[in-house]
Amino acid sequence: MSFFLTYIVPFVIALGLLILVHELGHYLVARWYGVKVLRFSVGFGKPLLKYQGKGETEWVLAAFPLGGYVKMLGESDDEVEEHESHRAFSRQPVGRRFAIVLAGPVFNLLLAVVLYWGVFVGDNKEVRPLIAPTEMEATLAREAGVREGDLVLSVDDDEIRSLRDLQEVLVRRAIDRSEVRLLVRTSSGDDAVRILNLRDFSIDDIRKKDRNADLILHMGLRQASIPTLIEYVEEGGAAARSGMVSGDEIVAIDGKQVNFTHEVAETIHATPGQTRTFTVRRGGEELTFAVTVGAKQEKDGKEVGIIGVRFDKSFLRVTVSYGPVDALARAVRQTWEISALTLKSIGLMVRGELSPKNISGPIEIANIAGETAKHGIGTFVRFLALISISLGILNLLPIPVLDGGHLLYYAAEFIKGGALSSRVVEVGQIIGLIFLFMLMAFALYNDVNHLIF
């Protein structure tokens, strides 16, 4: 039941909403032009639920959920009676047919705009874009001169308000393989520019070794360390037994100055069972405590030290919100940029510059749906927007069977001045079905391969 609620339910909600909106685009524009819609189906195959009522359209929820369709009068000429010929899809001018087919992908892109707008206009609890270089010496971040506590203000022309903003922009720039200009405010309050050179940064090379690799970490960047102000002391823990209390700030261990929590953690983790001298600042004076470090067993069996404290992370948190107009502009821009990036990624795959192993199928989408749902409604809505864009762009590809394939037919019809032969359309449909089947099989193979390895 837990697996069902965690992964299957978010997956069904995501897929159902995206398919519904896509088909609704076809339906509404068809009705706008007076075309008779016989069936509106979410899913393929055997109908599970049907409803028609007094209307002319039959509404269907079908068994196989990976898609849907709108069946219109006149998609095959033999079903059209003469008195209804003006309402048949096939009898419409080519421009109207083009608009009806185009409406599905366009509605997916519009849905992404609406979803992003909803996220941006709300009060989002985010992490401030405070960064630091990783411990490794030879990294892009160190070459750029990144320092502990740099607050990123912008990347090129993109304003950065949260760590999420920074991560999204840097991943996009990594695919572009471009040089990136980070405007930062240093810990001393000065503004500085860090030039991050991503020209030779290969996402493919990194993900061949670890598919779930943190790309930002591979650039040599990490979240800035937290100051050593104690927010909570566990009752009965090593720190509490020694006399330390919440509000204490650890300033030294065994006489060695410490400034950040990772320095404290490294010392504690490495010395389970040992007694260390902690110097803390409390109310303007410094106090010293002898703390016998406790121990706990990690999943890998390794024993690490603990003292039972949690540090104050409030300075890392920030509320990010935009006004309705600014949120709309940002939502449109985000949708545009991700659409362009999706098209570019497809182009890179076709040219062999980006591995097709990045293609995901239903298993991986279900996994991501569940994981994003765990992190809250905002993260899940962002995922929905991203998948909606992917669905819209995929359907615009000039592949027979997909909407883009039909648009290609109509464009050829417009140029030619007449409909293409039924034989050309049939051959195209067969080729499209084969290609689509191969694509789905490959995506499913990737999903299974990712689960096993």
- In the numeric block, which tokens belong to residue 334? 């985000």
Tokens found for residue 443 = 């995506």
Q: Rounded to the nearest 5°, which phi and psi values hold at 270?
A: -85, -5
Print pLDDT tens along the chain (453 aa): 565 556 677 777 888 888 999 999 999 999 999 999 988 998 888 888 888 877 789 999 888 777 888 999 887 655 677 777 888 888 889 899 999 999 999 999 999 999 999 999 988 888 889 888 887 777 888 998 898 888 999 998 888 998 888 888 888 888 778 889 999 998 888 899 999 998 888 776 776 666 666 778 888 888 888 888 999 999 999 999 999 999 999 999 999 998 888 889 889 999 999 999 999 999 889 999 999 999 888 777 788 899 999 998 888 888 888 999 999 999 999 899 888 888 887 777 777 666 666 666 555 665 666 666 666 788 888 888 988 998 898 888 888 888 888 898 888 888 887 777 777 777 777 777 776 677 666 556 555 555 555
Domain contains 283 = yes
The pLDDT of residue 297: 82
Place of tokens 């061949």: 208
Phi/psi at 279 (5° precision): -105, 125
Judgement on whether residues 32 and 112 belong to the same structural domain of the protein = yes
Position 3 scores a pLDDT of 54
Q: What is the pTM of this model?
A: 0.78
Q: Which of 225, 260, 285 is the last residue of a domain?
A: 225
- Strand locations in 218-300 (E): 221-223, 230-233, 249-253, 256-257, 275-282, 285-292, 294-297
- Is residue 351 situated within a structural domain? no
Number of domains in the chain: 3
Q: Which of 37, 3, 2 is nearest to 23 (CA)?
A: 37
DSSP 194-207: EEEE-TT--HHHHH
Does residue 156 sit within a domain?
yes
Rg (CA), the chain: 28
Supply the range of the domain harboring residue 214. Answer: 125-225
User: What is the CA angle 98-102-108, rounded to 5?
Assistant: 170
Active site residue 23: yes
Last residue of a domain, one of 312, 330, 352: 312
> Is the Cβ–Cβ distance between 372 and 119 less than 8 Å?
no
- Domain assignment of residue 389, yes or no: yes
State both tokens at 356. 């097709």
- Contacts with 352 (C-beta within 8 Å, 6 or more apart), sequence order: none
Strands 179-185 and 191-197, by their bridges, are antiparallel
